[in-house]
Structure 1
Amino acid sequence: MASSLRHFAGLGCFSAAASSSASTSFLPGYAPDFCVFVALRPIKPPATAVANPPASPSPLEEEHRQQAAVPWHSDDPPAPSVPAPLRVGIVGFGNFGQFIAGGVQRQGHTVLAASRTDYSAYCAQHGIRFFRSVDALCEEQPDVLLICSSILSTESVVRAIPFHKLRPDTIVADVLSVKEFPRNLLLEVLPPGFGIICTHPMFGPESGKHGWGKLPFVFDKVRVADDGDQAATCDRFLSIFEQEGCRMVEMSCAEHDRYAAGSQFITHTIGRVLSQLNLSSTPINTKGYETLLQLVSGLVHS
C-alpha cells in the first residue's frame, strides 16, 4: 500500500510539472484524486463505549465489604447485648405517679400503671399500659413495682398487693416523704427474696417541671442482692434518676427522717398556713412576697 501511494504521488508531481511547462504529458488529461485513497488509511478503532459503567460503592457498602473480608475466629468475644428496657409498674397514678412516669419513659423504659381512679385516657395518650387493678398489673410481672400512694393509704395498698404473682426477685420501691415507716412495712410484708429500695425524690411536679438537674434524690438500698439480676435491676432503676440529672444522695431511712423532721416540717407548715390565706399576686410584689407565692404554689401542686 505504501509503495502504491508513493507511485501515484510521483505521477501527480510529474503531471503538475508537465502542465506548467506546456510540454507533451506522459498521461495527457490525467489528474489523480488522492481523496479516494483516504479510506485506505489505517484507522484506530474507537474505544468501545460502556453503556452502564459500574457505580462506585458507597462508604457504607465499602465498610461492609471490608468487614466481610475479615476472617472470623471462634474465640472472638461476642458483641455486647443491649438489655431490654425495664418494666416499671406504678401503683397510685396521681400527679406524682404521672410525674415520675415521665422520667422513666424519657430514659427509654416501659411504664405500667394501676390506680383507683381511671387514668386510661391519659395513659393511652402517653404510651402507658393502664390496669384497672393491682392484681392485673402484677400478672404482667414488672421488674420494679413503685408505690406512689399517699402516706395515709400506703399500708392498705401494700398489704393488698398479690406478691405471689410477681417474680421472687422483683424490686419494690416507694417515694414517700418519710422513710422509716415504709421501710419497716415492706420488710414485714414482702417475701424474703424481694428487693427493697426506699427513695425520696426531694422535688415534685412543680419544682421539677423544668427538669430534674441537680435536684436531690435520696435512696436507701434496704434489701438488695449484692450481685445477679436483682443487683443489675437496682442499678438500672437508680440510673433513671441519675441520667435525668438528679444529685444522688444515699443515706439510711433513719438519717433521712432526722433531717426531714426539721426541714420538711417547717416548710410544709408555713406553706399550709399561707395557702389558707388565699394569697394572690399584686402589681407591686416584692421579691420576698414572690418567694412566698412560689412556696405556696409549689407545695399545693406537689
Structure 2
Amino acid sequence: MATHPRPQTLAIIGFGNFGQFLAKTFVRQGHRVLGQSRSDYSTAAKELGAEYFKTADEVLDQNPDVVILCTSIMSLKTVMKKFPLQRLEDCLVVDVCSVKEYPRDLMMEMLPPSADILCTHPMFGPESGKHSWKDLPFVYDVVRVCNEERQKVVDDFVLIWELEQCSMVPMTSKEHDSFAASTQFITHTTGRMLAGLNLTSTPIDTKGYESLLGVIDTTIS
C-alpha cells in the first residue's frame, strides 16, 4: 500500500464540473486546494473545503506546489496565453486533457524552462468516478523534471491517484494518442448514437443494458 504523500498546495485552473470533482478528493486527502476560473465558483469551493480566487495572480501568490490546467483541449491555448506563465518557474504544471501530444507540445513551448511538466489523463469523470476511483485508469507522462528535489513533488502528486487505487498507467503522450485514436472514437461515437435513442433505466434492466447506459453517461454527461 502506498504511503500518504505530504500535504500539497494544489491550484486548479478551471474550477468547473471536472475541477470540482478532482478538488473533492484532493481536499479529502488533506491537501490545500485553490480554485480559479472565469465564472464565480466561490460558493462551490467553500462547500468543498477549497479556497477560491478571482485571478490567476491571486492564486499564484499562494505559492502552489502544483498548478493543474483543468480546461478543455479547445480552450487550453487561450487559457495559457492569458495566464501569467512567467510565474510558473520552479512549479509543477499538470494538464488533464483527453489527448496528450498537443498539450505536451504546448506546455513545452510556452512554459518557462524551469517549470516541471506532467501530462495526465484521468480516464473517468464525475459520473464514472462518483463513488470510487478504484481500478479506474490514470494515464500519466512525466515530461520534464528539472532536478532531483522537485521529483518529490511529482511523486507526491502521482501518489494521490495511487492512494485512490486507480489503475496507474505510465505511458508516453505519443503512445496514449495512438491508442486513444481508435478506442475513444468508437466509444464516443457509440455513446452519441445511443443518446439519440433517449434510452432510460427500467426496473428490469439487464447488465448489458446498464452497460449501454453507462457508455452514454461517460461520453455525454
Q: 1:293 aligns with which of 181, 197, 213?
A: 213
- What is the Cα deviation at residue 284 of structure 1? 4.6
Q: Cα 1:287–1:238, aligned 2, differ >3 Å: closer, same or farther?
A: closer
Normalised to the residue count of structure 1, the TM-score between the two structures is: 0.69
- Residue correspondence of structure 1 range 1-302 to structure 2 within 5 A: 85-166=7-88, 168-228=89-149, 230-301=150-221
> In structure 2, what is the Cα distance between the partners aligned to 1:271 and 1:216?
19
The amino acid of 1:106's aligned partner reads R
- What is the Cα deviation at residue 165 of structure 1? 3.0
Percent identity for Structure 1 against Structure 2: 51
The amino acid of 1:254's aligned partner reads K
> In structure 2, what is the Cα distance between the partners aligned to 1:183 and 1:239?
21
CA contact (8 A) 2:34 2:51 kept: yes
The amino acid of 1:134's aligned partner reads A
- What is the Cα deviation at residue 177 of structure 1? 0.4
> In structure 1, what is the Cα distance between the partners aligned to 2:197 and 2:73?
25
The amino acid of 1:299's aligned partner reads T
More contact order relative to length (CA 8 Å, sep ≥ 6)? 2
Q: Cα 1:187–1:289, aligned 2, differ >3 Å: closer, same or farther?
A: same
Bigger strand fraction: 2
The amino acid of 2:214's aligned partner reads Q
The amino acid of 2:156's aligned partner reads R
Q: Cα 1:225–1:98, aligned 2, differ >3 Å: closer, same or farther?
A: same
> In structure 1, what is the Cα distance between the partners aligned to 2:18 and 2:204?
33
Q: Cα 1:226–1:247, aligned 2, differ >3 Å: closer, same or farther?
A: farther
Normalised to the residue count of structure 2, the TM-score between the two structures is: 0.92
The amino acid of 2:170's aligned partner reads E
Q: Size of the alignment, in residue pairs?
A: 218
> In structure 1, what is the Cα distance between the partners aligned to 2:128 and 2:141?
23
CA contact (8 A) 1:201 1:216 kept: yes
> In structure 1, what is the Cα distance between the partners aligned to 2:54 and 2:204?
49
> In structure 2, what is the Cα distance between the partners aligned to 1:237 and 1:169?
15
CA contact (8 A) 2:27 2:49 kept: no
Q: Structure 2: where are the runs of 5+ without partners?
A: none
Question: Considering only aligned residues, what root-mean-square deviation do their CA atoms show, in Å?
Answer: 1.7
CA contact (8 A) 1:139 1:165 kept: no
> In structure 1, what is the Cα distance between the partners aligned to 2:110 and 2:206?
51
- What is the Cα deviation at residue 236 of structure 1? 0.6
> In structure 2, what is the Cα distance between the partners aligned to 1:273 and 1:135?
43
Which one has a bigger Cα radius of gyration? 1
CA contact (8 A) 1:103 1:241 kept: no
| SS class of match (1:205) | coil
